[in-house]
């Protein structure tokens, strides 16, 4: 009888232990499941956001005389994502056009400076627009201010004089009173004013305000000696390899020599209804050996990318020019034979 009671107590203790363990397992599972689900939700929400952000590729600013700024912004996007989010420069966006690498217009919605673009599998998206928010005026002084995520180019209005800038440009050219600068990424503030004497502004390198130019005669002498040694070495090598170098140059010239294009007069006689701006493009191509990059055309005629692209496509439809992809750029070439297509 006593042994029976001991056995019963042991069985009861075992059952209670099993119930306790099972209850602990259930509680642990109840705690773990919400944590796992929450973690999966966080991952699911985070991944699309990261993939939908486009990365900067090319950035160009053109300031007009009225203080408005034309912006061309090119970015890389994930072709697997249906939408891309782009932060534009300025809150007041006007005349915006967004297109992919093939020139197709992309649908978009934007609020203030944030644009949500339906990329439809595009790997490159380009935003072309105007804004009034990057330039301000106080008296006769104008101030251009922008915080750029990448290196960018800036075309100043004609007849302007730059009086102050907080960052030193990577390069600068001045032609016909108009400055073209390449600037590093980051915050840039440029103060300028309009002057009829701006066309006489020199293209000499700018000196940062905080940097003084020091002349060291010994350094100059040392550099001169080094240059003389280098020139002598190069001359010696050139003499020994003159024949092979001449053959290489001849081969390169033969390979790069463009085909005979149609002359401008023939085109104008055949297409009497051409627009005046199209004629100017044709004349420039003729003077430039029959071809030029689209970027060179924009710089020559100071046209926004969208405007120039439409003009180029218009000439292509008339079979006057052809557009060739070269080094990730559009090379515009006069055709060797005039087509019969009409505008």
Q: For position 195, what pLDDT does the model report?
A: 87
With beta carbons less than 8 A apart as the criterion, state whether 89 and 72 touch.
no
Place 185 in a pLDDT band, splitting at 50, 70 and 90.
Answer: very high
SS3 breakdown of the chain: % helix, strand, coil, rounded to 5? Answer: 40, 30, 30
Place 137 in a pLDDT band, splitting at 50, 70 and 90.
Answer: very high
Place 260 in a pLDDT band, splitting at 50, 70 and 90.
Answer: low
Angle, helices 217-240 vs 242-256, to 10°: value is: 90
Q: What are 18-46's pLDDT values in tens digits?
A: 544 455 555 555 556 556 545 555 544 44
CB atoms closer than 10 angstroms to residue 92: 13
To the nearest whole number, what is the mean pLDDT of the chain?
Answer: 75
Q: For position 307, what pLDDT does the model report?
A: 80
* Res 205 pLDDT > 50: no
Average pLDDT over residues 287-305: 84
The torsion defined by the Cα of 116, 120, 122 and 125, in degrees rounded to 10, comes to -30
Nearest to 260 by CA among 289, 292, 296, 287: 289
pTM of the model: 0.49
Place 64 in a pLDDT band, splitting at 50, 70 and 90.
Answer: very high
Q: What are 211-255's pLDDT values in tens digits?
A: 444 444 444 444 554 565 455 555 554 555 554 544 544 444 444
Between 136 and 296, residue with greater pLDDT: 136
CA distance 343 to 316: 10
Do the bridges between strand 186-194 and strand 141-148 make them parallel or antiparallel, or are there none, so unpaired? antiparallel
Place 9 in a pLDDT band, splitting at 50, 70 and 90.
Answer: low
Q: For position 46, what pLDDT does the model report?
A: 46
């Amino acid at each position: 009888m006593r042994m029976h009671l001991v056995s019963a107590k042991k069985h009861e203790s075992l059952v209670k232990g099993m119930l306790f363990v099972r209850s602990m397992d259930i509680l642990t599972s109840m705690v773990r499941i919400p944590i796992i689900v929450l973690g999966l939700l966080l991952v699911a929400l985070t991944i699309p956001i990261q993939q939908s952000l486009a990365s900067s590729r090319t950035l160009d600013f053109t300031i007009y005389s009225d203080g408005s700024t034309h912006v061309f912004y090119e970015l890389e996007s994930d072709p697997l994502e249906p939408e891309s989010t782009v932060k534009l420069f300025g809150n007041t966006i006007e005349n915006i056009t967004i297109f992919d690498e093939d020139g197709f217009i992309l649908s978009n919605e934007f609020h203030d400076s944030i644009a949500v673009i339906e990329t439809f599998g595009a790997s490159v998206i380009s935003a072309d627009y105007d804004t009034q928010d990057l330039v301000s005026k106080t008296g006769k002084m104008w101030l251009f201010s922008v915080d750029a995520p990448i290196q960018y180019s800036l075309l100043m209005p004609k007849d302007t004089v730059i009086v102050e800038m907080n960052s030193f440009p990577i390069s600068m050219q001045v032609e016909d009173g108009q400055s073209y600068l390449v600037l590093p990424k980051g915050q840039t503030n440029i103060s300028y004013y309009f002057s009829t004497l701006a066309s006489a502004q020199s293209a000499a390198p700018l000196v940062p305000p905080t940097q003084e130019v020091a002349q060291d005669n010994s350094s100059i002498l040392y550099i001169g000696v080094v240059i003389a040694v280098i020139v002598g070495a190069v001359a010696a090598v050139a003499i020994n390899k003159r024949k092979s170098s001449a053959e290489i140059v001849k081969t390169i010239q033969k390979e790069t020599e463009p085909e005979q294009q149609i002359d401008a007069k023939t085109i104008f006689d055949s297409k009497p209804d051409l627009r005046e701006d199209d004629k100017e493009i044709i004349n420039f191509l003729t003077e430039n050996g029959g071809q030029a990059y689209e970027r060179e055309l924009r710089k020559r005629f100071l046209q926004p990318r969208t405007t120039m692209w439409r003009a180029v496509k218009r000439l292509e439809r008339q079979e006057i020019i052809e557009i060739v992809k070269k080094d990730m750029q559009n090379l515009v070439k006069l055709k060797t034979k005039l087509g019969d297509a009409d505008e």
